[in-house]
Structure 1
Amino acid sequence: MNKKYDLIVIGGGALGTFHAYHALQNGYSVALFEKDKEPISATVRNFGQVVPSGMDTKWQEYGRESLVIYDEIQNKFDISVRNNGSVYLASNDEEVQLIEELSVINKNNGYQSHLLTKEECLNDYPGLRSDYVKAGLFFPQEVTVEPRIMINRLREYLITEKGLDFYGNTKILGCNKIGDVVEIQTANHDVFKAGKVIICCGSEFKTLYPELFAGSDLEVTKLQMMQTKPQLGYNLKGSILTGLSIRRYEAFYECPSFAAIKAKENPDSFEKKWGVHILFKQATDGSVIIGDSHEYANAANMDDLGFDLRMDVDEFMINEAKKIIDLPSYEIQNKWFGIYSQCKNKDIFQHTIDDDIHIVTGIGGKGMTGSAGFSKENIKRIFNLS
């Protein structure tokens, strides 16, 4: 209890854990605090698709750095990384035009991608419907992870190999700078000290600084996903992103034709109302994860999103998925919703209090892809490293 750390990180999800990782890599002593036994929020409720290809130029750079970091860790400790690529499947001429334009952008960025013909797509992705796909864009460097495995194995690696001190089931109720030290107080009345504190959890942000939280531009997104029963003898490699993803992901905003194509869409369509785009990823047990939808509320009013799953959204996603890939079975074994926070007007929320308390949250849907690369740069900034 009397130990003073160089850094305390509050929030054990991907963003917080990768901040801890990079601080440890730079030789700092680090403690990581998680309000639950282990992360149960955004990090473990997503697809586990690491897809820099879907991000704008700034975040693609962070994502590409993340790929390097994932590879470095996986070579030392199994955190469930699988290098099996990502593909965007175009279903009409407009989407073909967009993937062709994105391939040029990536060529100029030095990021490897390959345009696929319809025949190549059908050969590479079993069950893909011939009446859906017209062409594809493949990113061979991209990876998938199993989110509920990855974050816990990453933390185990940091504890056993890097000297991380981890405190689970520990709610933080106070964080104050006293002299040149930051003190945090837990719900168990324990006090911990550090030179610097990074808060990477929206819940703790709200508890510790309610007025700042209420005045932020954070909003919360609720996403519905589902998982089939294991598909015996069936292999669907990598991340499968489809036409609605092409029309949604930020990377495509930089395509010359995007604005004109987007303007033609029906603003009252079901997929627009519920923010649906169809993704597939096969888990290691052979099941296929399908999703997802997007429903929004201001962070201060996140309870308005409720805890129910909308059956009409699930049914729409299944019906759309069946138009794309003929899986051996669409029998669903699990359904759930994920929650993540993002900023309305910025790409991430960052605020510094008293020089040494840093709030970093609201990374949105970029967490699994961008956290590792972003955290590397942010640790350098916070500790004034060259």
Structure 2
Amino acid sequence: MDGYDLAVVGSGIVGLAHALAAVRRGLRVVVVDRDQKANGASIRNFGLVVVTGQDSGLSRRRAERSRQVWLDLAGEAGLEILQRGKLVAAQRPEALALLEAFRSGQDGQDCKLLTAREAAAHLDGLDEKALVGGLYSPFELRVESREVLPRLTSFLAEMHGVEFRNGISVTSIAAPVVETSSGRLYAEKIVVCPGDDFASLYPERMGQYGIRRCKLQMLRLADPGHRFRSALTSDLSLLRYGGFSCLPEAGALRKRLTEQCGAALENGVHLIVVQSADGSLVIGDSHHYGMTLDPFGSDAVDHLILDEFKTLFGGKAPEVVARWTGTYASAGPAMIRDAPHDDVRLVIVTSGTGASTGFAIGEETIAELFG
């Protein structure tokens, strides 16, 4: 009979965060996943740990704590931090007014307002004529998700003895029993991190939260020939982050963007740009919602993303070398932690912020389960 202190179902970033929090308490952990390797939202993203712009309060504190864990892991596990900081490039006076309001609040105190010239000088290639100013945040970290997840998995297995059972489905849970397609496991506590799988385990628990899927589109562009000092976002992004969009000044920006960028807003487009070690750029993304979404990318949506990029870079964009779609769970609250049983937790990040807040959420869950 196999016995563990903790069984984690799901080996995406949220599942790994729970495993990490548990082994740091000296617990024996097994992670079970139906896929042979991480293949979902945890690797189909920007790898951007966002602090500035998170909802003020709990989400912000979770992001700050998770950022620190990422920095710790950079040293412990050799995870590479490719970029630090984030430039919000303001294209409209309404966006700059919103950034000024944010900067004057508690969460903006460590950020720096920039003139158009300063913002353009911060990132090579930005067109100063397209800008009215900007905001620089020193907090963001950027990792290459498709490389970091396997490295973190190896670190947990090799350095902390976490047992990974991949290619195995969990069919039912009756704590302390975990029934799988490869036999029965026993664990004192169980954490289920299903991502956007709403059918396999506890569908009735998930249903009460109104969870649905969000589909996104992203692109990789060829190396532009220069290096980005930080991540980049634009006016459209300000409406996607509660730390900005909750401010009164966001209303005027929303009105202006509705007039000028209606198609982009309808498709949930905003712009994030990050750079990989090989110089290529990852850009995106879009947001479409539903329970069952088609797997196909839209060329029209890709062009909306590229148009926003070109607006900031003098009408130019490097060649598109890859395109992909991804899905993640979406709901009103930023995350869900449900207790189907005293010894079981169902944990879902429902805001697309797993990389930004997951490590803190994992620590909270393990503290709740083990005291």
Q: What are the within-5 Å matches in structure 2 for residues 218-257 of structure 1?
A: 218-231=211-224, 233-257=225-249
> Do residues 314 (structure 1) and 302 (structure 2) align?
yes
* Counterpart residue identity of residue 72, structure 2: E
Q: Distance in 2 between matches of 1:196 and 1:23?
A: 11
1:198 deviates by 0.3
Contact 2:8–2:18 (8 Å) recurs in 1: yes
Q: Deviations over 1:224-261 (max 9, x none)?
A: 00001233x31122210111112332110332322344
Give identity over the alignment, percent. 27
Quick one: structure 1 residues 4 and 383, their matched pair in 2 at CA, closer, same or farther if it must change by over 3 Å?
A: same
Quick one: structure 1 residues 334 and 185, their matched pair in 2 at CA, closer, same or farther if it must change by over 3 Å?
A: same
SS of aligned partner of 2:265:
helix
Counterpart residue number, 1:63: 63
Q: What are the within-5 Å matches in structure 2 for residues 121-136 of structure 1?
A: 121-136=119-134
Counterpart residue number, 2:161: 163
Counterpart residue number, 1:363: 350
* Counterpart residue identity of residue 302, structure 2: D
Q: Distance in 2 between matches of 1:265 and 1:87?
A: 20
The size of the alignment, in residue pairs, is 369
SS of aligned partner of 2:127:
coil
Q: Distance in 1 between matches of 2:140 and 2:40?
A: 24
Instruction: Say which is worse superposed, 368-377 or 5-14, in terms of deviation.
Output: 368-377
Instruction: Say which is worse superposed, 77-86 or 253-262, in terms of deviation.
Output: 253-262
1:137 deviates by 0.9
Counterpart residue number, 2:73: 73
Counterpart residue number, 2:281: 288
CA root-mean-square deviation:
1.9
Q: Distance in 1 between matches of 2:328 and 2:109?
A: 28
* Counterpart residue identity of residue 366, structure 1: T
Counterpart residue number, 2:338: 351
1:81 deviates by 2.0
Contact 1:342–1:363 (8 Å) recurs in 2: yes
Contact 1:81–1:145 (8 Å) recurs in 2: yes
Q: TM-score, normalised by structure 2?
A: 0.94
Contact 2:94–2:252 (8 Å) recurs in 1: no
Contact 2:236–2:257 (8 Å) recurs in 1: no
> Do residues 184 (structure 1) and 178 (structure 2) align?
yes
1:151 deviates by 1.1
Contact 1:237–1:281 (8 Å) recurs in 2: no
* Counterpart residue identity of residue 129, structure 1: D
Unaligned runs of 5+ in 1: none
Counterpart residue number, 2:98: 98
Q: Distance in 1 between matches of 2:256 and 2:95?
A: 13
Quick one: structure 1 residues 329 and 242, their matched pair in 2 at CA, closer, same or farther if it must change by over 3 Å?
A: closer
Counterpart residue number, 1:381: 368
1:263 deviates by 4.6
1:83 deviates by 4.5
SS of aligned partner of 2:126:
coil
Counterpart residue number, 2:147: 149
SS of aligned partner of 1:379:
helix
Quick one: structure 1 residues 284 and 223, their matched pair in 2 at CA, closer, same or farther if it must change by over 3 Å?
A: same
Unaligned runs of 5+ in 2: none
Contact 1:218–1:362 (8 Å) recurs in 2: no
